[in-house]
Amino acid sequence: MSHRPGDAIGSRREARETALGLLYAAHSRGVDPLEVLTEQPVTPEHYTVQLVEGVAGHIQELDDLIGNYSEGWSTGRMPAIDLVLIRMAVYELAHQPEVPTSAVLSELVELVGEYSTEKSGKFVNGVVARIAEELRPGG
């Protein structure tokens, strides 16, 4: 199996961070994430594009799952950064089986710690952990 330079495991952190910025920009502007992606002067690395396209292409499925596990919080009530972080993690859990569950969850913890609040972090991690157990039991 060949890997592109942007596919290396170590660079996934950077790819997730870039995807987070693009998805957050799209959400904040109320536009399709693919629009923000095509506006980039330089095409982002492969895994960034995969995440943005994946979230954009499965947004209703992701939001339905998130709504089912967010204990009374509709996606419309969540802070935008938290919603985008959860969508990215749930997309990876549901559609990127080659990415280990532990990698998705640990990256989420790091990104939440850097971009969200401590209170939000507990909520985000709790929602994603419950979804991970549903999508990847015992993973």
H or E element at residue 119: helix 118-135
CATH number, domain at 25?
Answer: 1.10.940.10
3-state secondary structure of 117: coil
Minimum mean pLDDT range among 2-11, 51-60, 113-122: 2-11
Q: Where are the beta strands (DSSP E) in the chain?
A: none
Look up the domain containing 83 and give its range.
Answer: 5-135
Q: How many domains is the chain partitioned into structurally?
A: 1
Whether the Cβ atoms of residue 23 and residue 88 lie closer than 8 Å to each other: yes
Whether the Cβ atoms of residue 108 and residue 116 lie closer than 8 Å to each other: no
Mean pLDDT of the chain, nearest integer: 90
Q: What is the pLDDT of residues 49-105, one digit of tens each?
A: 999 999 999 999 999 999 999 977 888 889 999 999 999 999 999 999 999 999 999
